């Protein structure tokens, strides 16, 4: 079974739906279904285990050789939408706290002074809002530079096409064609570098394994192996079903670095 999902900034919950014809790795074909209790949440051997990370992967992947402007447009729109919603939530919280402080000051004649904790919360939210606004402006700056390079690349491509279809007999025509080809290559490289810079602003991609659920019964003793592929990043985890229907997995959470041109593939 294979699934593909697009990367997002928020923490994701991974659930695998199994078809009725799918059996466990170690279950025999003639094993009857057992009368077990419904699905129970995942139980790990080690509580408080640290999140697995792709330490072998550098934070910045090598720039792609071919730019993907359509895909970058989709990622940019989704990222801006998420950041805008996040800003609105914290701005509403800031307004709520500011209203509480004003009401407390209005009632100061009743010896109801504002709590120092309110002022600390306001300052903390204001600092976080400034960080979000700076992050959003950085993304806008990179995207605007990318759009400029894309327009220049399109213009250079049209010039190369025009000089190639014409008669390149004159020396001036050959020089113009070489100059246009050089510009097209330069703009292409700039777009790839900007894609890589924007990719480094996407944060982290968290995946948490909660367990297997589906139409088929999960029999005690069954063992499963799940393999996730995200670009050059990999995550393989193994689990089994215990007698009390609890699921035990060797790892529960993974942190991937978001990629613009890749999709997540999940196989059970």
Query: Would you say 17 and 214 are in contact if contact means Cβ atoms under 8 Å apart?
Result: yes
Both tokens of 235, joined, read 């995550």
Q: What is the pLDDT of residues 180-230, one digit of tens each?
A: 999 999 999 999 999 999 998 888 889 998 888 765 677 888 888 999 999
Q: What is the pLDDT of residues 96-140, one digit of tens each?
A: 888 888 877 776 655 556 677 888 888 889 999 999 999 999 999
Interatomic CA distance for residues 179 and 130, integer angstroms:
44
pLDDT for 135: 92
**Where do the structural domains in the chain lie, given as residue ranges?**
2-59+203-267, 69-199
What Cα–Cα distance (Å) separates residue 203 from each residue in 58, 79, 151, 168? Answer: 13, 10, 28, 49
pLDDT for 138: 93
Q: What is the pLDDT of residues 234-266, one digit of tens each?
A: 999 998 888 888 888 998 899 999 888 888 898
């Amino acid at each position: 079974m294979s699934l593909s999902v697009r990367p997002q900034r928020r923490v994701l919950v991974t659930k695998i739906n199994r078809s009725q014809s799918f059996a466990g790795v170690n279950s025999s074909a003639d094993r009857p279904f057992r009368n077990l209790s419904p699905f129970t949440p995942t139980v790990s051997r080690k509580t408080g285990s640290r999140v697995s990370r792709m330490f072998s992967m550098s934070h910045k992947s090598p720039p792609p050789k071919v730019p993907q402007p359509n895909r970058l447009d989709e990622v940019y729109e989704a990222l801006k939408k998420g950041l805008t919603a996040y800003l609105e939530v914290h701005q509403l919280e800031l307004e709520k706290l500011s209203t509480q402080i004003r009401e407390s000051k209005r009632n100061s004649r009743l010896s109801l002074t504002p709590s120092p904790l309110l002022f600390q919360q306001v300052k903390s939210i204001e600092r976080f809002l400034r960080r979000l606004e700076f992050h959003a402006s950085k993304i806008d700056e990179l995207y605007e530079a990318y759009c400029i390079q894309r327009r220049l690349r399109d213009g250079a491509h049209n010039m190369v096409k025009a000089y190639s279809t014409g008669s390149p007999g004159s020396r001036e025509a050959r020089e113009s064609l070489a100059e246009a080809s050089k510009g097209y290559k330069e703009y292409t490289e700039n777009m790839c570098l900007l894609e890589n810079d924007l990719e480094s602003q996407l944060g982290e991609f968290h995946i948490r394994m909660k367990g297997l659920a589906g139409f088929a019964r999960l029999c005690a003793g069954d063992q499963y192996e799940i393999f996730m592929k995200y670009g050059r990043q990999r995550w393989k985890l193994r689990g089994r079903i215990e007698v009390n229907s609890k699921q035990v997995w060797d790892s529960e959470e993974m942190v991937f670095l978001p990629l613009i041109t890749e999709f997540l593939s999940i196989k059970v």
